[in-house]
């Protein structure tokens, strides 16, 4: 999920929400973990959720997960027309872990 717009236009609010409005990230993860829980105990499927969280400002991209959550690194990738790289990814196994990470990441944002 990617949000783009002018400074103070509501990107963070749209993505992270508030106490009364969960935001896109929480809505998506609610759906993902609901679907995961309904796969059933007897399922032969492995279900992994890996996330990265980046802050882009003045054409500078900062991977915010690299400060503390370095256990699961995503590999770099590039496209012939554009380049996008990941500095770090985090494996999430519960909605509670997601909420904890989002709280920490809010404090790490620089802009």
Where do the H-state alpha helices sit in 5-75?
11-16, 23-37
pTM higher than 0.85 for the full model? no
pLDDT in tens, 6-15: 888 988 889 8
Tokens of 46: 């492995």
What residue has token string 């991977």? 63
Where is average pLDDT lowest: 17-21, 22-26, 27-31, 96-100? 96-100
Known binding-site positions: 5-12
Question: CB under 8 Å to 78, separation ≥6 — which residues?
Answer: 84, 85
- Binding residues for ATP, as ranges, are 5-12
């Amino acid at each position: 999920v990617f949000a783009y717009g002018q400074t103070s236009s509501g990107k963070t609010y749209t993505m992270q929400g508030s106490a009364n409005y969960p935001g896109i990230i929480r809505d998506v993860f609610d759906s993902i973990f609901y679907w995961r829980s309904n796969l059933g105990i007897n399922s032969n499927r492995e279900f992994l959720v890996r996330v990265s969280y980046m802050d882009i400002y003045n054409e500078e991209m900062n991977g915010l997960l690299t400060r503390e959550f370095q256990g699961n690194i995503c590999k770099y990738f590039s496209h012939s027309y554009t380049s996008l790289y990941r500095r770090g990814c985090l494996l999430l196994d519960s909605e509670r872990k997601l909420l904890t990470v989002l709280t920490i990441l809010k404090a790490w944002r620089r802009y």
